[in-house]
Structure formats: C-alpha cells, structure tokens
C-alpha cells in the first residue's frame, strides 16, 4: 500500500523555519512566567473518559477523540452503548488534566501553587483555515489563593508576556462567575439550567445577541426569562459604569462585594500597566478572562 504523505485532516507538519519561531515564542513564554513564579508541569495527553465527560467542558465535550478499550476489555458483542467500549480520550483542553493533577498531588505541592502548562490538545472539530484538530495551548493557574490578588497577577503576567512577544494595543476582557450567575438568577432561570444558559451565551461572538436569544427560546426556556436576560445585556451597552449598573439592578442577587472585587482588579491592573493595552468588563464572557489583539 502506498504511503499517504498528507497529514491526517485537521493536523499539520511543522517545518524547521516555523519550528524555530515556535521554540522562540515558547522560550519567551516560559522565561516570563517563570519570573512571575509559575512552575511548569506536564500531564498525559490521554485522560479518563469519565473526567472528560463531567459536564464541565461545555460544547468541547462533543468534540472528544475517544479511545476504544483494548484487549479483553473490548467486547463488541456485549456492548449496548458507547461507554461500554470507550475508557479514555485525548484531552480537549488543559483544565481537566490540571484538576486531576492537583487533586492527586496537592499534598506534595506548595500553597498557593502557581502552575504553567504548555501542551497539545485535540478536538474533533470541523477543520477550516486557521482551525486545527490538534493545537497547542498555554495555561497559567494559581491554586489555593482565593483572593483577587491571584487574578491581578495572572493578568499582569500574561500582559507582560504578550508585550515581550511584540503585541501592542490589545484588549483584556474580564468577567466574574458570580456576575453570570446573578444575571441568570435575576432573569428567572432555575439554577440547574445555568450551565446550559452559559453554553449558549458563550456563542455570543459567533451568533450575536439576537442569536443567543433565539437559541435560548429554542431550548424551551420561559420567554419572560429570556426577554429579561437579553434586556440586561442591551442596557449594559449604554452604561458608563456597567458593573455599578449591574450591582444596583441585580441587588442581592449579585452583592456589593462582587463589584468591589472587580473594581479592585481593574484599578490595580490600570495602575501598573503600560499604555499598550486596555482592560474592560465584558458581561458576555463566560470563561472569565480573554485577550484580544
């Protein structure tokens, strides 16, 4: 049989010149994050399928490359569902492996623990220009420090790294999980549905506010809750102080300490940053923090 020269769809070969650039970028990232006290760790690319399908990965859980059981454990004749023949899968991000890693090794790690991860992840997504099924992620996390000082340090470490790589005039968007939950509660969504609501909200960049509204209605949420929820986002757009507006509007659903928490993060970053980026609050951001150039 002739050798197939083309890589598997959605994956790529890396030639020497591109590899030099990748190595340079990775070295800058490692050196800068190390200077901020982050320690590099490594986790396996294969994870238990039960960990990967724990309902915490949102849409990504639909894109798992699943691995069949091997040897005597693989019994196709008695299998009645997919989980009868699958036991592992390729990681789709670095968060699930970190949770497992920390749960197992916390007693042997300093507290707080500042972790740096760089590694490939795999998603069975539809390949397209600039979108691959195998790609490298870089994460930093601080575990064991519940204060907003950890959030501030994460932002400053990352913006410093981006600056050293030559990025300028970029924007940091941040949000807070408690604000997401407060907005959903105020609108009348039951708590058990929050994850579903946030998965739809996470598509805002792709489908817009009207698209989010349509999907929430299709999901069979109460129309009055959907309308109240959408109106919150529409009102926020015109507010000079959106966090203050939400604190007043949501009242006990949100709590004053959340506004103080967010204000301290934003003010602290503004006080220490260069003029090459701005930090803004984005109530549509589901994953907490994002960087845009």
- Cβ atoms of 69 and 85 within 8 Å: the answer is yes
3-state secondary structure of 68: strand
Predicted local confidence at residue 226, as pLDDT:
96
Predicted local confidence at residue 292, as pLDDT:
42
Predicted local confidence at residue 62, as pLDDT:
81
User: 168-293, what's its fold?
Assistant: BirA Bifunctional Protein; domain 2 (3.30.930)
Distance in Å from the first CA to the final CA of the chain: 47
pLDDT in tens, 240-252: 999 999 999 999 9
| Mean pLDDT for the chain overall | 90
Cis peptide bond upstream of 135, omega within 30: no
CATH superfamily of 1-145: Bira Bifunctional Protein; Domain 2 (3.30.930.10)
Triad 172, 176, 254: Cα angle to 5°: 140
> What is the β-pairing status of strands 113-122 and 86-90?
unpaired
DSSP category for residue 206: H
Predicted local confidence at residue 151, as pLDDT:
93
What's the whole-number mean pLDDT along residues 152-172?
Answer: 93
pLDDT in tens, 21-59: 999 999 999 999 999 999 999 999 999 999 998 766 566
> On the CB side of 132, how many CA atoms lie within 13 Å of its CA?
13
Question: CB count, 10 Å around CB of 196?
Answer: 15
- Domain regions of the chain by residue span: 1-145, 168-293
Closest CA to 177 of 194, 190, 193: 194
What's the whole-number mean pLDDT along residues 245-263?
Answer: 92
pLDDT in tens, 80-97: 777 778 899 999 999 999
Is the pLDDT assigned to residue 273 strictly greater than 60?
A: yes
Same fold, 1-145 and 168-293: yes
Contacts 24+ apart (CB under 8 A), 252-259: 253/182, 253/183, 253/185, 253/186, 254/178, 254/179, 254/182, 254/186, 255/178, 255/182, 258/176, 258/178, 258/179, 258/182
């Amino acid at each position: 049989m002739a050798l197939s020269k083309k890589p598997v769809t959605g994956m790529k070969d890396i030639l020497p010149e591109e590899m030099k650039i990748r190595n340079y970028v990775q070295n800058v990232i490692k050196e800068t994050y190390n200077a901020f006290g982050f320690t590099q760790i490594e986790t396996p690319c294969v994870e238990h399928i039960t960990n990967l399908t724990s309902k915490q990965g949102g849409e990504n859980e639909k894109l798992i490359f699943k691995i069949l059981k091997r040897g005597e454990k693989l019994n196709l004749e008695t299998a009645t569902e997919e989980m009868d023949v699958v036991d592992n899968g390729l990681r789709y991000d670095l968060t699930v492996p970190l949770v497992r890693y920390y749960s197992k090794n916390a007693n042997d790690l300093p507290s707080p623990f500042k972790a740096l991860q760089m590694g490939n992840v795999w998603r069975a997504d539809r390949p397209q220009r600039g979108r691959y099924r195998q790609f490298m992620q870089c994460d930093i996390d601080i575990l064991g420090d519940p204060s907003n000082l950890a959030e501030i340090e994460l932002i400053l470490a990352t913006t410093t790294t981006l600056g050293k790589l030559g990025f300028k005039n970029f924007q940091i968007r941040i949000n807070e999980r408690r604000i997401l939950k407060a907005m959903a509660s105020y609108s009348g969504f039951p708590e058990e549905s929050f994850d579903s609501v946030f998965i739809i909200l996470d598509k805002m960049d792709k489908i817009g506010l009207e698209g989010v509204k349509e999907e929430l209605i299709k999901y069979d949420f109460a129309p009055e809750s959907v309308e109240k929820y959408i109106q919150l986002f529409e009102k926020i757009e015109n507010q000079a102080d959106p966090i203050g507006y939400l604190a007043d509007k949501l009242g006990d659903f949100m709590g004053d300490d959340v506004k103080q928490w967010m204000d301290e993060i934003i003010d602290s970053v503004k006080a220490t940053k260069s003029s090459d980026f701005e930090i803004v609050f984005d109530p549509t951001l589901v994953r907490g923090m994002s960087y845009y150039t």
